[in-house]
Amino acid sequence: MKKGMFNITGESIRKVAREALSPTFLFILLGAALLWYTSKLSYEYTTEMPIGIRIDGQKYRLTAIVKGRGSSILAQRLSLKSRLTFTIDELASRRSNETPGALIITPTSLQNAINGKIKDLEITQVIAAPEFMPPAAEADPDAESPREKRQRERKERKEAKEAARAADKAAETESK
């Protein structure tokens, strides 16, 4: 008798659940959940987020603090395959004290470069910038960094301009 009573109770519970959970009710419940979720994604959020980057063909994953609308943050997180591509010349770097030939990319230059590529989010801080090992540095640890190369080239151009000015002055004084 007890067994039959549980069956009747189970049957009546299923019947009430079927009536209460009609397709119309479930559709309205789903619509309300979507509207609530959409409204929550329109708020401004600040969160820690992993970002995939590629520097001269080498892949890195770094963590950054990102500020933006929830929908933009969600879209960026869901686009797992998208990596931002940079060259080492676009980023400021300095030589590493620990690893010979390696370059440490400054977090602020990385932050500015990423902000230039991702329009709808603001990178407020790059938590840890990667250490970059240029292919040339792997072969020659004493090779100059791209920053040092740019500085040397600027200095050479400046010296060439000064030499041209001096030659022009000398030619001008000789002609008088």
pLDDT digits (tens, 9 = 90+) for 100-118: 778 888 889 889 998 988 8
Do 84 and 146 meet the contact criterion of CB atoms below 8 Å apart? no
Q: 10 Å Cβ neighbour count for 102?
A: 19
Query: What's the one-letter identity of residue 105?
Result: I
Answer whether residue 147 is part of any domain.
no
Sheet holding 84-86, edge to edge: 84-86, 44-55, 58-69, 121-126
- Residue 149 pLDDT > 90, yes or no? no
Model pLDDT, residue 65: 93
Q: Looking at residues 127-137, what average pLDDT do you find?
A: 75
Model pLDDT, residue 159: 94
Answer whether residue 2 is part of any domain.
no
Q: Looking at residues 31-49, what average pLDDT do you find?
A: 91
How far are the Cα atoms of 26, 28, 82 from residue 70, in angstroms, in the given order?
Answer: 26, 24, 18
CA–CA separation, 115 vs 112, rounded Å? Answer: 5
Answer whether residue 135 is part of any domain.
yes
What is the pTM (predicted TM-score) of this model?
Answer: 0.58
Answer whether residue 22 is part of any domain.
no
Higher-pLDDT residue of 7 and 139 is 7
Answer whether residue 134 is part of any domain.
yes
Answer whether residue 162 is part of any domain.
no
CA–CA separation, 127 vs 120, rounded Å? Answer: 20
Answer whether residue 133 is part of any domain.
yes
Confidence of residue 18 (pLDDT cuts 50, 70, 90): confident
In sequence order, the β-bridge partners of residue 41 are none
State pLDDT tens for residues 55-70. Answer: 888 888 889 999 999 9
What residue numbers bound the domain in which 122 lies? 41-142
Total number of domains in the chain:
1
- Residue 15 pLDDT > 60, yes or no? yes
Q: Looking at residues 138-162, what average pLDDT do you find?
A: 77
